[in-house]
Amino acid sequence: MHRSQLTIDLGAVRRNIRRLIAALDGADLWAVVKADAYGHGAVDVAGVALSEGARTLCVVTLAEALELRAEYPTARILVMSPLLPAEIARAREAGLEITVVDADIPEGVRVHIKLDTGMGRFGLSELLSAPGGNVVGLMSHLATADCDLEFARVQVERFRQLTEPYAGLIRHIANSAAVLHIPEASFDAARCGIALYGLSPFGSDPADDGLEPVLRWESRLAQVKQLQPGESTGYGRRFVATEPTWIGLVPVGYADGFRRDMTGTELLIQGQRRPVIGTVSMDSVAVSLERELLVDTPVVIVGDGLLVEDHARVAATINYEITCGICSDRRRARRVIVDA
């Protein structure tokens, strides 16, 4: 019996893509499926994205791109980080498109030149005077589209000025947050990741922007016991009962992606939110119960209105990090794909 179950709803992916395409108002949607589609399954999500009109699949590593190439022989695939010379040769053979962040433009492969307009990471600060014939795109990346629209718009204008002489090339800078809140950033295409998965780029309720969560995570109560006053649960005795307290042990821990800093978050049990108490272990977590419940009572970790964003706030992190960290090893979690 599996310790937990991850359910990925490809129907929700479809609806999120349609929402983004409508917001793009004519610009192309490029689906970012790096990091195994932020933990949702790159091959499955890529197939849905292509069927719903995504023009390009975006990844970060050559290995990610080659996995998708094997499944989707004709898809346009962009590797968004610089590659080693040996990797460029393999990318050329596989018909991939690559990102270049300096003045060295390789031959025989379709290239997107990355400009640094304010992120302060990879990219050129000025565009080459005459991009080569195999340069097909100009790109940049927004640093604050989720939190500082003023600076994001400064970046968009810098990008516009730098690339205007080459408007015949594909220009792309927008991410999910920009598609939803900065329409002028879309240019020819937008690289959307987090919103595909029904996760808010702003750390708020995804429904605020018409998005629908794709991931559901469930487990069960593996043991139920009552602590007496003075008794504790978990490493370090971080929770000590001050009165008779029923607790349930859920067989999910930080090895499964339920992080140690998520102590204090809530889980759904019989429709009620119940607090996680004590220290999160590698393989289990304790939850405070109102009363004695049966072993095998279902526990919802994500779903039914309990959001990844709720857990992220407790852990003082972002929703991206939560889903990327969920373990999908079939020896620990059952993975179910639906298209509802």
The residues carrying an active-site annotation are 34, 235
Q: Classify residue 241 by its DSSP letter.
A: -
* Dihedral angle computed from the Cα positions of residues 339, 22, 194 and 50, in that order, rounded to the nearest 10 degrees: 50
DSSP per-residue string spanning 168-217: TSEEEEE-HHHHHH-GGG-TTEEEE-GGGGT--TTSS-GGGGT----EEE
DSSP annotation of 239 reads E
What contacts 190, CB < 8 A, 6 or more positions away?
Answer: 20, 24, 27, 28, 29, 30, 172, 174, 175, 178, 179
Neighbouring CB atoms inside 10 A of 80's CB total 22
C-alpha 100/C-alpha 113 separation (Å) is 5
> 């290995």: which residue's tokens?
63
C-alpha torsion angle, residues 17, 18, 21, 25 (rounded to 10):
-160
Angle between the 62-71 and 42-51 helix axes, to the nearest 10 degrees? 60
HEC string for 67-122: HHHHHCCCCCEEECCCCCHHHHHHHHHHCCEEEECCCCCCCCCEEEEEECCCCCCC
Supply angle C-alpha 7, 8, 10, rounded to 5.
Answer: 145
DSSP assignment string, 2-13 = -SEEEEEEHHHH
